[in-house]
């Protein structure tokens, strides 16, 4: 069905994290590659995950973490609640 990059908990909220990376020369920002189709797929994966864990009755949200390689050190950004 697909994969979830990271599954985390944040103060009682399940966080589904999509990680995207790009080189500095990329024409697109990594977060722009999480389009509607990808969002819908992640939503379905999150719901399937929660169905598989009936004891886990918590709210959930989607975050995006981007890694842009600019020389030797990456620039990392965290977009909390990215789908809202």
Q: What is the CATH number of the domain that holds 40?
A: 3.40.1350.10
> How far apart (Å, rounded) are the C-alpha atoms in residues 49 and 10?
17
| pLDDT value, residue 26 | 66
Residue 1 lies in a domain: no
Nearest-5° Cα angle at 83, 80 to 84 = 85
Q: Structural domain tally of the chain?
A: 1
What is the 8-class DSSP label of residue 24?
T
| pLDDT value, residue 6 | 97
Residue 27 lies in a domain: yes
**pLDDT, mean of residues 11-22:** 95
pLDDT band at 82 (very low <50, low <70, confident <90, very high): very high
Q: Which domain holds residue 44?
A: 6-79
Residue 84 lies in a domain: no
Structure confidence by residue, pLDDT tens digits, 24-75: 766 778 898 899 999 999 999 999 999 999 999 999 999 999 999 877 889 9
Residue 10 lies in a domain: yes
Residue 13 lies in a domain: yes
| pLDDT value, residue 29 | 85
């Amino acid at each position: 069905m697909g994969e979830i990059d990271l599954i985390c908990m944040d103060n009682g909220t399940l966080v589904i994290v999509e990680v995207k990376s790009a080189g500095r020369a990329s024409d697109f920002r990594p977060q722009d590659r999480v389009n509607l189709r990808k969002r819908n797929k992640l939503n379905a994966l999150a719901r399937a995950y929660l169905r598989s864990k009936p004891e886990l009755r918590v709210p959930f949200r989607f975050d995006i973490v981007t890694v842009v390689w600019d020389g030797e050190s990456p620039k990392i950004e965290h977009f909390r609640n990215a789908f809202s």
